[in-house]
Amino acid sequence: MKWSKTHLHTLREAPSDAEITSHQLFIRGGYIKKLAPGIYTYGVMALRSIRKLEKIIREELDNIECSEVLMPMVQPAEIWKETHRWSEMGDGLLKFKNRNDHEFCLGATHEEAITDYIRHDLKSYKNLPMIIYQIQTKFRDEIRPRFGLMRGREFIMKDAYSFDIDKEAALQSYDKMHAAYVNIFNRLGLDFRVVKADSGSIGGDTSEEFHVLAESGEDQLMVSTESDFAANLEVCPAIDPVEASYGGGEALPLEEFPTPGLKTIASLSESVKIDQKNLVKTMFFSLSEGLEDDKSKPIAVLLRGDDEVNPIKIKNHLGLSNPPLLLTETEVQTLTGALPGSCGPVGLDIPVYSDNGLKNYKNFTVGANKNDVHLKNVNAGRDFQVTEYADLRFAKSGDKSPDSKGVLKAIRGIEVGHIFYLGTKYSKAMKAQVLDQNGKAKTIEMGCYGLGVSRTIQAAVEQKNDSDGIIWSKALAPFHVHICNLDPKDSSVNSVVESITSDLEKKNIEVFIDDRKERPGVKFKDADLLGFPVRLTIGGKGVKEGTVDVVNRSTGNKKQVEINNVSIEVEEILNSL
Ligand code: ATP
Ligand code: MG
């Protein structure tokens, strides 16, 4: 492929809304171009990378006998109403009506569509196991699309769905997919980690995420210093390094004291001379389950002053479909009679959930539900009832690893894949059954498996780059070799370019030729920016001497190589990657 025949435009500067490196490099390198927020055109180079990733995905999934289909992107509301996700998914689902007033949405995910696809055709246990996948454009009306392809509104996903006769078989399908994902990410040459994860609105109780490790990753992962334990912070169990306790001994008489202007745990801690970790904070959430009866009921959550409440743990503990929302300041005031900062559990007639970290806390301090007043010597059981103790806080670096091996350390990742064992959530709601060996109708057990195709290629760039540009792995590079033709008007140079290109292409090495009328410096800069593994510099001077410069993009090593040996040298570099 020649640059002069390609719609490829590089930029010196990235636009100001490109906050992370890979987004800047993708825009500067002409890989992607924004049409609207979160909506991009994949340019010629990005598309080649995407196609390579898709090929690897297909090979690995075909290896475990999955079959590929392509489902519609436009889906009727009816199937989403069957599973109640028409309302549960909230505004993330882009809904619209056609001329006949029928409701539709753009496919944000395809559990409903696939279940509808199979439900009348899969009849017997003999048809199972079955894994079906597609690679398709998804649309999610993300509140804050950002970081280019990382969080787009429109993006490409590979989604697969497994169907099995029972849980045991379903977990075998899950394990097969897990292994295929490990193969895929290994083949991409990426540094990645598999972590325990939350199932979100998809459902089910077993799920793992695949993360490409990168400092700028949106997700915080907790990993053990001494074992392979790894979990997304959202679900990582919190276990204190040493069991915490405070204010032991006899329960002392409850006492009010004035705390004018002390609205934060930090200011209260300083004033009463008690460590933040020994103060107790009260947070209020509203549970508006089912959304259909939108009566919301408030709950209080207590935790230590230096801990952070984890709404996903509340959701999972209470079996909600979405994390509960914090009450607003006005709602808190209506409920407790005081502003947040002066509130506590004493005297409230609502469920009170207490974080496990407070189990051994006695005679502690909380807000008095009167503005600018706190209570000291508060004791659970005597002054208020704890509905339940549970793990409701975020784990921290230094906490005990939940597998008791080592301590937790925080790292960051970009979620590129998410696999779920679903159970019968969709098959039950949509009545997808087969007959088992005894001729009895059984609800099919399902799993679903997402892989963000467009996000993954950008994650690869986020992981490997330098100040000059992208450093592609061999597997995902749009081309293997970038030829800078320094004298495109010189026929002897052109014939060397052509013969080297033809030698390389015979070996299935893909070549991109910069044949523009640009200065060498501009061509070198663009080659580094685009980031293909090998750069060849072919110009009049070298050709006269019978040599070509060969540059390894990842090491920066430059070598003058005789024209006849160029293809061998290129092969060596590619093999070393
Ligand atoms: P996230 O937590 O990042 O919002 P998710 O949990 O909503 O992702 P899934 O529903 O599990 O994502 O989708 C499967 C995969 O699709 C994700 O692992 C991710 O790689 C990709 N993906 C999800 N949302 C987006 C998006 N807005 N833009 C690009 N890729 C996405
Ligand atoms: Mg996810």
- pLDDT for 360-408, tens place per residue? 999 999 999 999 999 999 999 999 999 999 999 999 999 999 999 999 9
- Tens digit of pLDDT for each residue in 97-155? 999 999 999 999 999 999 999 999 999 999 999 999 999 999 999 999 999 999 999 99
Q: What's the gap in Å between 159 CA and the centre of ligand 1?
A: 11
Q: Supply the residue whose CA is at minimum distance from atom 23 of ligand 1.
A: 452
Q: Supply the residue whose CA is at minimum distance from atom 16 of ligand 1.
A: 452
Q: Supply the residue whose CA is at minimum distance from atom 19 of ligand 1.
A: 452
Angle at 146 between CA 188 and CA 84, to 5 degrees: 90
Counting residues of the chain whose pLDDT is more than 90, the rounded percentage is 92
- Tens digit of pLDDT for each residue in 415-464? 999 999 999 999 999 999 999 999 999 999 999 999 999 999 999 999 99
Residue 296 binned pLDDT confidence (cut-offs 50, 70, 90): confident
Q: What's the gap in Å between 485 CA and the centre of ligand 2?
A: 45
Q: How high is the pLDDT of residue 289? A: 59
- Is the CB of 217 inside a 6 Å radius of any atom of ligand 1? no
Burial group, residue 38, by CB count within 10 angstroms (0-12, 13-18, 19+):
buried
Compute how many other C-beta atoms are within 10 angstroms of the C-beta atom of residue 427. 23
Q: In angstroms, rounded to a whole number, what is the distance separating the alpha carbons of residues 109 and 202?
A: 9
- Is the CB of 402 inside a 6 Å radius of any atom of ligand 1? no
Options 3.90.960.10, 3.40.50.720, 3.30.360.10, 3.50.50.60; which CATH number does 255-390 get?
3.90.960.10
Q: Which residues pair with 224 in a beta bridge?
A: 408
| Confidence check: pLDDT of 294 > 60 | no
Which of 184, 186, 209, 189 has its CA nearest to residue 55?
184
Q: In angstroms, rounded to a whole number, what is the distance separating the alpha carbons of residues 361 and 278?
A: 8
Positive or negative CA dihedral for 399, 404, 410, 416?
negative
- Is the CB of 323 inside a 6 Å radius of any atom of ligand 1? no
Q: Boundaries of CATH 3.90.960.10 in the chain?
A: 255-390
CATH code, 479-576:
3.40.50.800
Specify the pTM: 0.92
| Confidence check: pLDDT of 288 > 90 | no
Q: What's the gap in Å between 561 CA and the centre of ligand 2?
A: 48
Q: Boundaries of CATH 3.40.50.800 in the chain?
A: 479-576
- Per-position b or e across 221-248, b if 16+ CB within 10 A of its CB: bbbbeeeebbbbbbbbbbbeeeebebbe
- Tens digit of pLDDT for each residue in 158-168? 999 999 999 99
Q: What's the gap in Å between 463 CA and the centre of ligand 2?
A: 20
- Is the CB of 416 inside a 6 Å radius of any atom of ligand 1? yes
Q: Boundaries of CATH 3.30.930.10 in the chain?
A: 10-237+409-462
CA of 417, closest atom in ligand 1: 18
Q: How high is the pLDDT of residue 321? A: 79
Q: What's the gap in Å between 204 CA and the centre of ligand 1?
A: 17
Write out the two tokens for 384.
């208020």
Chain-centroid distance of CA 428 in Å reads 28
Q: What's the gap in Å between 286 CA and the centre of ligand 1?
A: 26
- Tell me the C-alpha to C-alpha distance, in Å, between residue 400 and each of 52, 222, 316, 496: 41, 11, 21, 63
Residue 291 binned pLDDT confidence (cut-offs 50, 70, 90): very low
- DSSP string over 101-131: --EEEE-S--HHHHHHHHHTT--BGGG-SEE
Q: In angstroms, rounded to a whole number, what is the distance separating the alpha carbons of residues 396 and 161?
A: 35
Residue 89 binned pLDDT confidence (cut-offs 50, 70, 90): confident
- Is the CB of 204 inside a 6 Å radius of any atom of ligand 1? no
| Confidence check: pLDDT of 203 > 80 | no
CATH code, 10-237+409-462:
3.30.930.10
Residue indicated by tokens 């995905």: 57
Q: Supply the residue whose CA is at minimum distance from atom 4 of ligand 1.
A: 151
